[in-house]
């Protein structure tokens, strides 16, 4: 497979969870060549600051991915401002960490709402436009926790397994359709290992938050958000007939 290295991705994209960490790095990376980006998250000040560093073709829109109308609005803005929707990166996520024996039901519900329903809301917002166009690329951010289960992170692992399963099923449905009507819509799941971001701050159970923050601080050579942004760009830049189904991207030092 040859990469379209000399032709950086120049489409129109949506990125959720774009106010920090991996999402912000994806915005920085793609904005260099994209025709337009619509970037969503709840912290609009952060989004505006990131967009102002990238240029007027990056539009910040406040969005809570648990609200389907907010996510549909991201797609509407992309269509009205740029006339197409070529990619969505469903990246927004939170980390519920604590032993299940604590029965933090609110955390469990929130995690399913953001990590799973948020991805479904993104797919439902983008797919109709992509089916109409006959092209598009849906990139879902899962995790190495989408393959393995870690103690103290059962619900997070469950949500990230769900993202992988949904992506795989979506790919099957789209490929069947592609054989019938020639649509070529790609689905890529990215499974990051440990990436140094603010993700631990979303842990509500304080001892677990402190534990994970320490783990992130002391981990030797974690990935940086830019490493995942490179993977997103790599997937987007594959030739039209090539789909990268799944990319596990880990620090070389990660043994869990
Ligand atoms: P960050 O905490 O830096 O980023 C999380 C992003 O999600 C923020 O922009 C936050 O924005 C957004 N977000 C959270 N809740 C919502 C919501 N309800 N609606 C809209 N946006 C929301 O962490 P990361 O960059 O690390 O996380 C990005 C993704 O990568 C997540 O899906 C995470 O599970 C995944 N991942 C991270 C790994 C890591 O080691 N860091 C490893 C594997 C996967 P705001 O608060 O402004 O809404």
| 92 and 110 Cβ atoms separated by less than 8 Å | no
21 lines ligand 1 (CB under 6 A): yes
CA of 91 to the centre of ligand 1 (A): 6
Ligand 1 atom having least distance to the Cα of 115 = 32
Of all helices (H) and strands (E), which one includes residue 46?
helix 44-54
Task: Count, in order, helices (H) and strands (E) of the chain.
Answer: 8, 7
SS3 58: strand
The whole-angstrom separation of Cα 228 and Cα 231 is 5
Position 2 scores a pLDDT of 54
CA of 188 to the centre of ligand 1 (A): 18
Position 4 scores a pLDDT of 55
Position 177 scores a pLDDT of 82
The whole-angstrom separation of Cα 135 and Cα 130 is 5
Select from 14, 15, 18, 22 the residue to mutate for testing ligand 1; criterion: most ligand atoms less than 8 Å from CB: 22
The whole-angstrom separation of Cα 212 and Cα 162 is 22
Angle in degrees, CA 131, 235, 159, rounded to 5: 75
B/e letters for 125-146, b = 16+ CB within 10 Å, e = fewer, are: bbbebbeeeebbbbbbbbbbbb
Digit-by-digit pLDDT tens for the chain (256 residues) are 555 545 799 999 999 999 999 999 999 999 999 999 999 999 999 999 999 999 999 999 999 999 999 999 999 999 999 999 999 999 999 999 999 999 999 999 999 999 999 999 999 999 999 999 999 999 999 999 999 999 999 999 999 999 999 999 999 999 988 888 888 999 999 999 999 999 999 999 999 999 999 999 999 999 999 999 999 999 999 999 999 999 999 999 998 8
In the block, tokens 């709402």 appear at 113
Position 180 scores a pLDDT of 84
What's the pTM value of the predicted model, to 2 decimals? Answer: 0.97
User: Which structural domains are found in the chain, ordered by start?
Assistant: 12-248 (3.40.50.720)
Q: Angle at which helices 44-54 and 21-31 pack, to 10 degrees?
A: 20
B/e letters for 76-105, b = 16+ CB within 10 Å, e = fewer, are: bbbeeebebbbbbbbbbbbbbbbeeeeebe
CA of 177 to the centre of ligand 1 (A): 32
Task: For residue 89, report the phi and psi dihedrals to the nearest 5 degrees.
Answer: -110, 105
Q: Which residue has the least CA distance to atom 1 on ligand 1?
A: 199
Q: Record the tokens describing residue 204, joined without a space.
A: 């509500």
Q: Record the tokens describing residue 35, joined without a space.
A: 């025709």
Q: Record the tokens describing residue 33, joined without a space.
A: 């060549």
Going through 50-207 in order, the beta strands assigned E by DSSP cover 58-62, 87-90, 135-141, 184-192
CA of 187 to the centre of ligand 1 (A): 20
Q: Which residue has the least CA distance to atom 48 on ligand 1?
A: 42
């Amino acid at each position: 497979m040859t990469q379209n290295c000399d032709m950086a991705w120049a489409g129109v994209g949506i990125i959720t969870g774009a106010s920090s960490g991996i999402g912000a790095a994806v915005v920085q990376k793609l904005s260099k060549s994209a025709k337009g980006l619509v970037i969503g998250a709840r912290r609009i000040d952060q989004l505006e600051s990131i967009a102002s560093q990238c240029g007027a073709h990056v539009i910040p829109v406040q969005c809570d991915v648990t609200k389907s109308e907010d996510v549909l609005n991201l797609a509407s803005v992309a269509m009205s401002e740029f006339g197409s929707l070529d990619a969505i990166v469903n990246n927004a996520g939170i980390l519920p960490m604590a032993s299940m024996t604590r029965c933090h039901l609110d955390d469990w519900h929130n995690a399913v709402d953001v990590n799973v329903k948020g991805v479904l809301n993104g797919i439902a917002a983008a797919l109709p436009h992509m089916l109409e166009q006959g092209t598009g690329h849906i990139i879902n951010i899962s995790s190495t926790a989408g393959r393995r289960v870690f103690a103290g992170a059962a619900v997070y692992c469950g949500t990230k397994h769900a993202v992988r399963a949904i992506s795989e099923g979506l790919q099957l449905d789209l490929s069947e359709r592609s054989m019938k009507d020639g649509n070529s819509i790609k689905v890529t799941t990215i499974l990051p290992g440990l990436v140094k971001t603010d993700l631990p701050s979303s842990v509500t159970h304080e001892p677990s938050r402190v534990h994970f923050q320490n783990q992130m601080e002391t981990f030797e050579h974690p990935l940086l958000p830019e490493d995942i942004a490179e993977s997103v760009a790599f997937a987007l830049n594959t030739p039209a007939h090539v789909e990268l189904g799944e990319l596990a991207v880990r620090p070389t030092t990660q043994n869990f």
